[in-house]
């Protein structure tokens, strides 16, 4: 993958124009003179190491595992993801990017901020640190936390996910207790030129996500209710936007990886999956379209013939296939596309779930509808009422209603969080149709998307054996860069063992 080169080049280019030479500090925090360090030098590099991984690798893997994407004809870069496979080596560099660079730089900002009592800086770095640990837990289940980031300890203990979640909630609460909305915040890309106010809202939205994610294994309703009652949540999507350009090294991460040709690559890998296409363009038994989601053109391009078509997980189609690259739809992507951290729609779905779980059906439905409306607003289209008519809220099975609607809403926005939420809510669920029912690699003429049932998942044509039929990849093997030389690394519990919040 081109990610590391992209991020290094991006940081180097922006360093010349916006915040001097923080690339050197990001690469080696111990090399500058201590008196020269300040949060504005370190923070932008910390952000780009997080967003470069989250907006690229996590988007790609989440897209395949959630059946938003499948592998295009003729290439095999991510065929293993399409088959629900992950290895300790595949995610290793991304883990190192988050742990060895992003988290270490964020801790440096926190240390500088503490020494100077700059609580706006402290909150901003704490929010991104908590965000990073949430991502790591959601991938691996267990990672070093209480003993992490200590260069004198090469074998840190792996903490369980519940301990880490509780820890980062406590960190967020501590940072929030110190800060005022008017406190200044160091140079950063997320909220440039603003004080701590939007970072406080981001912290609350992140707390809501973390607590909602563990709500099935721990009673956190009082904490969630307090966040909702405060009303101090974002009113607009939180995303890295406005900081990308078409220049090599400055391009939004997913576009740089999959669409840009600055490094000479012309491969086409990620294409639309029949699951998401068939759920956004619902057809009757005769093949006639009965509902087409207005967000579809905002999420996926039409194919070369002007139609919406989706490939099938587990195959990149045979070498003799007539279904070449131009047959499939690609994700909509632009050089300056935002990297969404958390959206208003996602927050509203969490609020709807809270009210559903606590028995307030009217509020649950109202926030479900508000979530759909917010998703349509993010996509820049009208028609939320039509979606609600097609996929109405059902209090008697609220997890299914929210799960399917959220899965669709996140398809063109944040595929990694879509992958996490379908593992947690168990919706969309696997239907009776399998990938092999819709396409047989030995018989090119058998491609049959009409067999797909809207709002379901399916077993890939070729599914990774340890995952097996009718199962998701629930967790990733511990990254080699973390576990290879760590005698305290635990034994991998298996690909279908959920992380703690999925049990």
pLDDT of residue 74: 82
Per-residue confidence at 35, pLDDT binned at 50, 70, 90? low
Rounded average pLDDT over 108-136 = 98
Question: Per-residue pLDDT tens for 198-224?
Answer: 999 999 999 999 999 999 999 999 999
Question: Per-residue pLDDT tens for 446-469?
Answer: 789 999 999 999 999 999 999 999
Question: Rounded distance, CA 269 to CA 276, Å?
Answer: 17
Per-residue confidence at 51, pLDDT binned at 50, 70, 90? very high
pLDDT at 141 exceeding the cut of 90: yes
Write the DSSP assignment of 140-159 as a string of letters: HS-EE-TTTT-TT-SSPPEE
**11-20 contacts at long range (C-beta below 8 A, 24 or more positions apart):** 11/44, 11/45, 11/48, 12/249, 13/247, 13/249, 13/250, 14/44, 14/243, 14/250, 15/44, 18/44, 18/187, 19/44, 19/187
Question: Per-residue pLDDT tens for 390-442?
Answer: 999 999 999 999 999 999 999 999 999 999 999 999 999 999 999 999 998 87
Question: Per-residue pLDDT tens for 333-377?
Answer: 999 999 999 999 999 999 999 999 999 999 999 999 999 999 999
Q: What are the φ/ψ torsions at residue 306 (nearest 5 degrees)?
A: 85, 20
Which residues fall within 8 angstroms of residue 447, CB to CB, at 6 or more apart?
A: 312, 323, 438, 439
pLDDT of residue 264: 62
Per-residue confidence at 326, pLDDT binned at 50, 70, 90? confident
Q: Are the CB atoms for 259 and 333 separated by under 8 Å? A: yes
Question: Rounded distance, CA 323 to CA 328, Å?
Answer: 8
pLDDT of residue 19: 33
Q: Are the CB atoms for 56 and 257 separated by under 8 Å? A: yes
Question: Rounded distance, CA 63 to CA 83, Å?
Answer: 12
């Amino acid at each position: 993958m081109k990610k590391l080169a992209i991020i290094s080049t991006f940081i180097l280019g922006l360093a010349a124009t916006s915040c001097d030479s923080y690339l050197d500090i990001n690469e080696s925090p111990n090399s500058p003179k201590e008196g020269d360090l300040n949060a504005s030098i370190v923070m932008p590099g910390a952000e780009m190491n997080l967003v470069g991984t989250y907006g690229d690798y996590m988007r790609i893997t989440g897209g395949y595992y959630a059946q938003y994407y499948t592998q295009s004809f003729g290439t095999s870069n991510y065929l293993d993801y399409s088959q629900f496979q992950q290895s300790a080596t595949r995610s290793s560099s991304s883990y190192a990017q988050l742990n060895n660079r992003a988290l270490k730089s964020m801790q440096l900002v926190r240390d500088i901020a503490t020494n100077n009592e700059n609580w706006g800086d402290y909150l901003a770095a704490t929010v991104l640190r908590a965000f990073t640990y949430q991502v790591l837990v959601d991938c691996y289940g267990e990672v070093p936390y209480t003993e992490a980031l200590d260069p004198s300890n090469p074998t840190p203990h792996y903490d369980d996910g519940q301990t880490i979640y509780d820890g980062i909630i406590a960190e967020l609460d501590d940072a929030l207790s110190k800060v005022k909305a008017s406190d200044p915040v160091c140079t950063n890309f997320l909220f440039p030129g603003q004080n701590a106010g939007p970072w406080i809202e981001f912290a609350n939205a992140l707390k809501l996500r973390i607590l909602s994610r563990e709500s099935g294994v721990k009673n956190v309703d009082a904490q969630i209710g307090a966040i909702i009652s405060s009303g101090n949540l974002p009113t607009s999507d939180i995303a890295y936007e406005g900081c990308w350009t078409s220049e090599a090294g400055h391009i939004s991460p997913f576009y740089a990886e999959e669409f840009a040709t600055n490094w000479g690559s012309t491969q086409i890998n990620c294409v639309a999956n029949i699951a998401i296409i068939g759920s956004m363009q619902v057809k009757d038994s005769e093949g006639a379209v009965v509902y087409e989601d207005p967000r579809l053109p905002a999420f996926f391009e039409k194919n070369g013939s002007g139609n919406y078509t989706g490939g099938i997980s587990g195959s990149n189609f045979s070498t003799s296939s007539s279904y070449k690259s131009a047959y499939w739809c690609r994700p909509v992507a632009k050089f300056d596309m935002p990297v969404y951290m958390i959206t208003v729609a996602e927050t509203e779905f969490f609020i709807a779930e809270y009210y559903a779980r606590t028995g307030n059906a009217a509020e649950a439905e109202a926030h479900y509808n508000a979530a759909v409306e917010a998703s349509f607003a993010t996509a820049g289209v009208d028609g939320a009422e039509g979606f609600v008519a097609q996929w109405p809220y059902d209090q008697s099975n609220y997890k299914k209603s929210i799960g399917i609607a959220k899965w669709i809403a996140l398809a063109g926005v944040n595929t990694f969080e879509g992958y996490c939420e379908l593992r947690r809510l168990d919706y969309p669920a696997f239907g009776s149709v399998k990938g092999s029912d819709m396409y047989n690699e030995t018989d090119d003429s058998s491609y049959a998307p009409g067999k797909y049932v809207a709002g379901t998942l399916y077993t890939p044509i070729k599914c990774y054996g340890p995952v097996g039929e009718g199962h998701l990849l629930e967790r990733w093997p511990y990254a080699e860069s973390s576990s290879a030389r760590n005698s305290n690394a635990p034994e991998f519990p298996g690909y279908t063992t959920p992380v703690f919040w999925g049990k």
